[in-house]
Amino acid sequence: MKLNIVTLAVVVIALIAFATQAARFQFTTAHLAGTAILISSFILFVISRVQLGSAFSVEAKASTLVTTGIYSRIRNPIYVFGSLMIAGVIVWASRPIFLLVFLVIIPLQVYRARNEERVLREKFGDAYLEYKQKTWF
């Protein structure tokens, strides 16, 4: 429960920061598209985090195999939606050079996902392999 309160606090602070900054900009098509990607990804990121509940950890560990909600379709939605939030910022900024960020982030996310997969496979065995067949990334 404590982590969900922290998540809620981060969401509120991020929304306030976004709202105060957004009022200063004249929105272009790139700003609108980037904002749409960023906000929708952020919402799905927060939902994923809340659905993960107490199974959340910074380091790979296997306390619970979460297979419901967004996790019933995507094994690593926090990584997916976190990356999409960054993509939204890149589109919003209209700076294609920022795509170089993905040269670091994507391999890092894949590495972390594989590490988590190994830990979950060791702990949950066939149940994890069955879950993996039904989901994406």
Residue 68 sits at φ, ψ, to 5 deg, of -115, 170
Give, in degrees to the nearest 5, the angle at Cα 11 between 6 and 13: 95
Q: According to the model, what pLDDT value does residue 124 have?
A: 93
- pLDDT of 8 > 80? The answer is no
Give the tokens for residue 84: 């999409």
Q: What pLDDT shows up at residue 15?
A: 75
- Within 8 A by CB and 6+ apart from 71, the residues are 48, 51, 52, 77, 135
Residue of higher predicted confidence among 3 and 63:
63
Task: Flag whether pLDDT at 133 surpasses 90.
Answer: yes
pLDDT tens-digit profile of 30-89?
888 998 999 999 999 989 988 887 766 656 677 788 899 999 999 999 999 999 999 998
pLDDT tens digit sequence for 87-126: 998 998 888 888 898 888 899 999 999 999 999 999 999 9
Mean pLDDT value of segment 10-36: 80
State the pLDDT at residue 120: 92
Domain count, the chain: 1
**CA 40 – CA 26 distance, rounded (Å):** 20
What is the pLDDT, as a whole number, of residue 4? 62
**Across-strand partners of 74?**
136
Closest to 112 in 3D by CA, of 57, 65, 69:
57
Tokens of 74: 């995507």
Structural domain for 108, as ranges: 2-133
- What are the tokens at 51? 């659905």
Please say if the pLDDT value at position 6 is more than 60: yes
